[in-house]
Chains A and B, each alone.
Chain A
Amino acid sequence: MIVVASVFLVWWLAEASAAEPSSCVVCHSDVQVKYSASAHAGEVTCVGCHGGDAARFDLEAHSEGAGYKGALSRVAIVELCASCHSDPARMRAYNLRADQYSQYLTSPHGQRLFKGDSRVAICTDCHSTHEILPASEPRSTTYPSSVPKMCAHCHADKRLMATYGLPADQYDQFRKSVHGRALEEGGSLKSPSCATCHGTHGATPPQVEDVSRVCGQCHSRERSYFNESPHKAAMDALEFSECAACHGDHAVEEPKRSLFNTACLGCHEKGSREMLAGRKIMTLLDRAEEALRKAEAAAKEATASGIDVSVHRSRLPMAWASLTEALAVQHTLDAERVEELARNARSVGEEVQGAVHAAMGEKELRIIGLLLVWFFLLCTAAVAYLYKREVARERAFE
């Protein structure tokens, strides 16, 4: 009975498992390590891209008869990826778009590739080959904070860019810019990478008339206020790249009030009516910010010395919001609108400063009180000391 059961068990277990054996990993185990951590693992097989016969364990697996394609040409790679990724029905289950290939064809990368230039970026240059990961994965080459470095791989290569007549300093400029620092150092994924402005698969430089739209995707209030300003029509007529004309592009800095002294001079003469109007807006914003900063500093100092000024301090966030709105409204060049907001912020700032200083005044009063107490203590000590000396003297007489 036991013998029969054992034989049955051996017979039952001797069946091959359902998992398909792959001969590829016998030699290419290094590739398998990368592949098994990728988004394609379990979905796309080796044979799916490279052809061949994974069931054979000899060199025939690589034979043409087995449909082996080997390493693909650059054009073939793009077409191979597109064979799945441009099929909406196939991509639906993964919640992926299917327009990457058609977009790629509109970009200078795609256009040049199909004209025979194999040096331009193809799918695998950005996404890597075997270890492809979704862009939401922090280890991915296309994770937002990794994108600038990834683009820079080619676009910071001076020799390569020179052949296209393109500059190669964009990445150096970008990483020093307010956007680059926020993205790469601050880790803020809200900050734009190259792809945010230039697009991804359809990457192309924004045209002059598109710059304000591109910036306006995030800076929407600044864009709509700018569109109300006399600058809009004038810049369109002269084909100026709106936002970038004052703020720059890759090297965009945190906007400082000193821009009024430098950027305006690019078009307007010193002492002109326009320069004076700009100076007025600058002064309004400067004073409002100064008042709020002083109020914050005074409130902080008071809190540190144990005086509660939270009632006054709670007014400051609304005042800062007013100033922030004024900073956006300045793009209309309408000094009156800026003045209304900036004056509101400034007056709150000055009122809070006054209230905090009044509260701090109580501390000064306490210090005066303390000095009086010390005076009293020292007088008492002096009297006690004199009395003691007198007693000692009397004792000596005795």
Chain B
Amino acid sequence: MAAPDGGIERGPGEGERIELPQNWSSFDYLGAALLFVFLLQVASGVLLMAYYRPVPQDAYASVWWIMNEVRLGAVVRQIHARGTDILLAVMAVHLGGMLWRRAYRWPRGLTWIIGAVIFTVSAAFAFTGILLPWNETGYWLADATRKAISEIPIVGGLILQVLWGGQEITDETLLRFYVFHVGILPWAVALLISLHLLLVWRHGLSSERSPGARVPLVPDFALNVFLVGLLSGGVVLSAGVLAGVPIGSKANPLAPVAASWVPWYFAVVEGVFERLPLAGALAALSAGSGFLLALPFIDRAAAGARWLGHLLVVIGFVLVGVFLLGGLASLLSL
């Protein structure tokens, strides 16, 4: 029987013939591409774990070893590093596409919310990874963040105690970031992705609103997803081989660097903290992410006014645009 709102349909007869709406657009494949890039991140990450040592006195040397002595080590590490850039950029575009499609509307509201959470958790995932090589850029980024968090009243100290393992960057910090990076966040993201996909499965793709022509999952859809997988694998591999990620100098806690490096996907966050006082910056960031998370509810509340619905989409696009363009600007100014 037909699933509500154009969902996945189990055909009669064989009982197992699964059909999907025919007219998925390229936006749907971005989601599939993201899944493949995530799987590549897991695979390359596991390979790196074989040589990486999460203690300050060995971390930098072990990454140096990976880059220079391990066979194809540099390629694997660069795939892992550039994979993050690609993952977050494509995620933002995917989010923009779904915004355009109004895919946040119920019954897909929960799918949207989980997607937004995956986006935030992925940024945290990337953040914990930056410290691991224990080089200057990673160390001073973690230190600048530590300073910003320590200024948050009441909970600042507690946050640092939990995430940094103390009020300063120590051996504990590196170990904790490592634990989050390889022990907690991968499971969290995997769980969230599973829920996200389960809900997509349940509610169907948003491109199909009315029952129309349908195609079987196997081979048509599966083959397309397979092609997307090949393409995204090729793109990430090319980025890893062509765009080098030098490890820089080993972190020296006694010699702060003048301007700490910030990855492009945190350029906007940094800009907000730089330009606004702490309370204002926290409020702006909470408002931005809160808007994305609560969008399905706001949209339902504003169901009466058509113009309000359009306004919500515009606000969402501005947020995605600021994230991507701000990141691009920070890349170009380097």
Contact = CB atoms under 8 A, between A and B. Distances in A.
A306 B74 CA distance: 8
Interface residues of B, number: 23
B230 A380 contact: yes
Contacts of B237: 370, 373
B238 A306 contact: no
A380 B223 CA distance: 11
Nearest to A359: B68
Contacts of B227: 381, 384-385
Contacts of B67: 306-308
Interface in B70-120: 74-75, 78
Interface majority SS (helix, strand, loop, mixed), chain A: helix
B74 A387 contact: no
B246 interface: yes
Given A303-B246, A385-B227, A308 B64 contact: yes
Nearest to A311: B68
Interface string B196-222: 000000000000000000000001100
Contacts of B226: 384
A367 interface: yes
B245 interface: yes
Interface in A369-386: 369-370, 373-374, 377, 380-381, 384-385
A303 B64 CA distance: 12
A374 B219 CA distance: 23
B47 interface: no
B233 interface: yes
Given A303-B246, A308-B67, A308-B68, A381 B219 contact: no
B245 A306 contact: yes
Contacts of B223: 384, 387-388
A9 B241 CA distance: 88
A306 B76 CA distance: 12
Contacts of A388: 219-220, 223
Given A306-B74, A370-B241, A377 B219 contact: no
Contacts of A373: 234, 237
A370 B241 CA distance: 7
Size range of the interface on A? 20 to 34
Contacts of B234: 373-374, 377
A337 to B, nearest CB: 37
A265 interface: no
Most buried by A among B68, B75, B237, B242: B68
Contacts of B312: none
B219 A308 contact: no
Contacts of B231: 377, 381
Contact of B230 (A306, A369, A377): A377
B247 interface: yes
A387 B244 contact: no
B219 A387 contact: yes
Nearest to A373: B237
A370 B72 CA distance: 12
Interface string B46-80: 00000000000000000010011000001100100
A307 B244 CA distance: 8
Interface in A293-335: 303-308
A138 B197 CA distance: 68
A158 interface: no
Given A374-B234, A384-B226, A306 B78 contact: yes
Contact of A377 (B68, B74, B233, B246): B233
Interface string A383-397: 011011001000000
Contacts of A384: 223, 226-227, 230
Given A304-B244, A366-B75, A387-B223, A381 B68 contact: no
A33 B223 CA distance: 86
Contacts of B220: 388, 391
A361 to B, nearest CB: 13
Most buried by A among B67, B245, B246: B246
Given A373-B237, A377-B233, A307 B74 contact: yes
Interface in B222-255: 223, 226-227, 230-231, 233-234, 237-238, 241-242, 244-247
Interface in A143-183: none
A366 B77 CA distance: 14
Interface string A13-56: 00000000000000000000000000000000000000000000
Nearest to B249: A310
A304 B334 CA distance: 13
Contacts of B246: 303-306, 308
A367 B244 CA distance: 12
A370 B78 CA distance: 13
A305 B75 contact: no
Nearest to B220: A388
A366 B78 CA distance: 12
A100 B234 CA distance: 78
Contacts of A307: 67-68, 74, 244
Contacts of B238: 370, 374
Nearest to A380: B230
A367 B233 contact: no
B63 to A, nearest CB: 10
B39 to A, nearest CB: 16
A307 B67 CA distance: 7
A308 B247 contact: yes
Nearest to A390: B219
A116 B179 CA distance: 87
Contacts of A366: 75, 241
Contacts of A305: 244, 246
B82 to A, nearest CB: 10
A303 B249 CA distance: 11
25 contacts: A303-B246, A304-B244, A306-B67, A306-B78, A306-B247, A307-B68, A307-B74, A307-B244, A308-B64, A308-B67, A308-B247, A366-B241, A367-B242, A374-B234, A374-B238, A377-B230, A377-B233, A377-B234, A384-B223, A384-B226, A384-B227, A385-B227, A387-B223, A388-B219, A391-B220
User: Closest 9 A-B residue pairs measured CB to CB?
Assistant: A306-B244, A305-B244, A370-B241, A377-B230, A377-B234, A308-B68, A388-B223, A366-B241, A306-B246
Given A377-B230, A377-B231, 16 more contacts: A304-B244, A307-B74, A308-B64, A308-B246, A308-B247, A366-B75, A366-B241, A367-B242, A369-B241, A370-B242, A373-B234, A373-B237, A381-B227, A381-B231, A384-B227, A391-B220
Interface of A: 303-308, 366-367, 369-370, 373-374, 377, 380-381, 384-385, 387-388, 391
